[in-house]
Chains A and B, each alone.
Chain A
């Protein structure tokens, strides 16, 4: 799939980088921030020392994406349960995911620099690094997570964190029938028309279902239509 368009204004709050934030997993509540651990970085990536204005963090939901909440592939990840009581929880989650994405981009660049500079380091292919996720008292560590894969996970997470429970996308709104014609058509069905063989009713249109699943892509609708 295509790389999602993440807001370029995402920057990492300085305090989030402090190791003190990576606490014992049992003390985390469900509204914890995603914590980032990157043992493979040899050089400090320039991005990590930027000063940040948290207000610049843009909520994914504002970006006008048509992302529905699809099921993420990782079992340990929240599937929409981030939408708990407070609206603040999903927002912080979204902020954290944004932070993660920024870091992923920066360290992706750094890792490839590192790989070029130090061949003996045995770097994983194409900037793949370890990804650690703390959530709901559980910890998941992924080795060999490429920036692309990390981005994919972020996408799932931000979609799950969207505050409003969006109804399934609008292909489900059927073209409405005019009532006057509807009455005529059902009257016609009722009438006995002997020589016309009534074929068995066709299976319900599958159109809605196939298009719903293709909504994963954030790409243009032309892609969907081509399926």
Chain B
């Protein structure tokens, strides 16, 4: 268009939206390029064929929330110019050892069918999937020249050999290599050396919780070569071996991992000087005598991970009192109510808090630990900016939940698990508290409530449905009393997309009927319910594009993984997994999974 104002008639025509041909293609491209939210994108793509096509060509990122919902081929046809793809595989229960390794969620078809044809792809994120060395080989062959971001998140099935290949093939472009909590076969430390030697633009490296061996000299090489490195999370390597690394990595802002291998060796760690810009920190096995390492920069600390430390309740109190700028805090419940009160008084900007479950055994210096309504209430009143709370609590009251509803107006993620150690809980059922929390926290999108029998009545369960608002994901455990509770819950959940139920009292029939009532539901996982041997009643929810997979209850544990003490992780309880799918029955299910529909 030139600089002249068009004549009125022509102007009307040019701006006409109803007549799509009036608006130039380029303009639409530009406008849609600024539309990032996938829901807005979806709405735009439904306006007309032209907008659909432009959305398809300009969509930069897609997350496939469940790998069996859609086929790679279909994704390719829909979004041929994708730059970034995230695919999620196994049910979340896999993080708790409840899903066997051979359950499925293989990356192979995704890599095979997309790595080459998606010519713009530069970022790939796979979560809870099985990824082999061959898959990674295929990926780097196709995309190595431009791959910027590779995130393998809680994946398994590959080895350090594949990492060597990645390190050597993506040298000009790799900015992020994320391997946190993956199960990786350790065939040597060369991969880290190769990475350090060949990837000068590396910004983020994370192999936290992988238990890979580390050679400190390779980390020093990394620090020397990767001037842009700002985030490093490693596996176990004694902190004293990193003195050299920290001296070189002056730009480092985030560090986690390493370990204190010898407690109370004051001289050993005396020379550790952490980089000046560090504002995110976590140190494995850190104890009372080592936590002073944090003191010099505690005032600027934004993220602190104490989940894997040996700190006592008192230590938590002392340390957190020095961290007024914390945004993200992760601890075990050894922090205790006392520690939470300190958090409430000190960390006024806190956005995300995770309180994990500690050891049940006595003698682990966690006697003072355990979080209750006392700590939660203090937290609610003190930390008004909280957006995400995940906590294992030992005791709870309606009042604590009400307080959260009253004060934490920014909460979008709330998860609470009531531990089973304490016989009597102060104030059950939690019907009213849950109602007030849901009514108060209007931005809530993710919600988990795991109690015990008696924790929430049918009425309380109906409250959850009634006040579910915009919640998209829920995990419910040990809630409700009868099938009626589930049905009334389901009647209220308009926006619920993903539901996980565990240890519940509902019949198969009620489950099926409840699923039918939730209009947005596209994924449901259940373990621990009144299962039959065949899952027959589940067929009540059979309908097109809705897959139902049933794992029958069994007394054998053949093929199931074992815990370290020899106890089988997976008990004999049936599992149900039902999900929206455009691909029909999956072809890679193991023998203990029965596809009910499509059969």
Contact = CB atoms under 8 A, between A and B. Distances in A.
A188 B361 contact: no
A184 B573 CA distance: 27
A73 interface: no
B452 interface: yes
A207 B263 contact: no
A19 B240 CA distance: 93
A66 B95 CA distance: 30
Contacts of A207: 420, 423
Interface string B285-316: 10000000000000000000001101000000
Contact of B95 (A179, A184, A196): A179
Contact of A221 (B95, B362, B454): B454
A196 to B, nearest CB: 6
Contacts, number: 121
A198 interface: yes
B100 to A, nearest CB: 13
A175 B420 contact: yes
Given A167-B572, A184-B307, A173 B454 contact: no
A176 B482 CA distance: 23
Contacts of B214: none
B505 A170 contact: yes
Contacts of B531: 167
Interface in A172-216: 172-186, 188-189, 191, 193, 196-199, 201-202, 205, 207, 211
Interface string B263-291: 10000000000000000000011000000
B445 interface: no
Interface in B552-599: 553, 563-564, 571-573
Nearest to A223: B454
A136 B414 CA distance: 56
Interface in A160-178: 164-167, 169-178
Given A164-B533, A188-B359, A197-B363, A176 B96 contact: yes
B510 A64 contact: yes
A64 B507 contact: yes
A194 B455 CA distance: 40
Contact of A170 (B419, B457, B478): B478
A224 interface: yes
A82 B421 CA distance: 38
Contact of B429 (A174, A197, A222): A222
Contacts of B356: 178, 181
Given A173-B503, A175-B450, A221-B457, A199 B482 contact: no
B97 A173 contact: no
Interface in B470-527: 477-478, 481-484, 502-505, 507, 509-510, 527
Contacts of B332: 181
B502 A173 contact: yes
A203 to B, nearest CB: 12
A220 B528 contact: no
B428 A225 contact: yes
B96 A196 contact: no
B152 to A, nearest CB: 15
B263 A193 contact: yes
Contacts of B308: 184
B359 to A, nearest CB: 5
Main secondary structure of the interface of A (DSSP, over half): loop
B453 A224 contact: yes
B453 A221 contact: yes
B41 to A, nearest CB: 34
A170 B506 CA distance: 10
A186 B564 CA distance: 9
Given A193-B263, A199-B362, A181 B357 contact: yes
A167 to B, nearest CB: 6
B237 to A, nearest CB: 15
B33 interface: no
B166 interface: no
Contacts of B73: none
A61 B310 CA distance: 51
A178 B553 CA distance: 22
Nearest to A211: B453
A222 B454 contact: yes
A67 to B, nearest CB: 11
Interface string A11-43: 000000000000000000000000000000000
Nearest to B259: A187
Nearest to A206: B423
Nearest to A202: B362
Interface in A42-71: 62, 64-66
Contacts of B532: 164
A21 B394 CA distance: 59
A66 B332 CA distance: 36
Nearest to A191: B285
B209 interface: yes
A205 B421 contact: yes
B402 interface: no
Contact of A182 (B419, B454, B563): B563
Contacts of B457: 220-222
B94 to A, nearest CB: 9
B361 A167 contact: no
Contacts of A174: 420
Interface in B449-472: 450, 452-455, 457
B457 to A, nearest CB: 7
B357 A177 contact: yes
B545 to A, nearest CB: 29
A220 B453 CA distance: 10
A188 B364 contact: yes
**Most chain B beta-carbon contacts within 10 A, residue among A62, A164, A183, A201:** A164
Contacts of B529: 170
A166 B572 CA distance: 12
A167 B527 CA distance: 12
Contacts of B395: none
Contacts of B429: 221-222
B98 interface: yes
Nearest to A208: B420
A64 B573 contact: no
A179 B365 CA distance: 21
Interface in B8-33: none
B417 interface: yes
B453 A225 contact: yes
A201 B423 CA distance: 18
B96 A201 contact: no
23 contacts: A62-B509, A64-B482, A164-B532, A173-B571, A174-B420, A177-B97, A180-B181, A181-B332, A185-B359, A188-B285, A189-B361, A191-B285, A196-B364, A197-B363, A202-B360, A220-B457, A220-B481, A221-B454, A221-B481, A222-B429, A222-B454, A225-B425, A225-B428
Given A176-B97, A202-B362, 8 more contacts: A62-B509, A64-B510, A174-B420, A175-B450, A177-B357, A178-B357, A181-B307, A220-B457
Nearest 10 A-B pairs (CB), nearest first? A225-B454, A176-B96, A173-B528, A173-B503, A199-B363, A64-B483, A221-B454, A170-B503, A199-B362, A164-B532
